[in-house]
Amino acid sequence: MNEFVTVARVSDIPPGTGRTVEVHGVWIALFNVDGTFFAIDNTCPHAGGPLGEGTLQGAVVECPWHGWKFSVASGQREGNPNFEVPCCQVRIEDEHVQIALPPGLLAS
């Protein structure tokens, strides 16, 4: 079972916004889409741009460096599913947002 880590309070991330958080040495982009939270790897596979600093429209984030767009729900790049970023499990416990990293994202 994956270990969940508290990274924010629900009230810290209003709907339609995101932020970058750290989980076990890994930077994760965390987003609130109409009250549902999603977390993906913060690093854009194109040139390493910070997805957590991107613009969120609906459930799609646009990388601030070169405009690549990713679904925050699936991690897939819009228009080209051959590129994707890993997704993390997210849960809410007592108004705290918690994230569990997938095995492939654990820092060594």
DSSP track, 25-61: TEEEEEEEETTEEEEEESB-TTT--BGGGSEEETTEE
Arithmetic mean of pLDDT over the chain: 94
Report the pLDDT value the prediction gives residue 81, as an integer from 0 to 100: 86
Please, which residues bridge with residue 100 across strands?
Answer: 89
Whether the CB-CB separation of 66 and 53 falls below 8 Å is answered with: no
Total H helices, total E strands in the chain: 0, 11
pTM greater than the 0.85 cutoff = yes
* pLDDT for position 107: 60
Q: Which domains does the chain have, with CATH numbers?
A: 5-102 (2.102.10.10)
Residue 2, pLDDT score: 74
Task: Find out whether 97 and 18 touch, Cβ atoms under 8 Å.
Answer: no
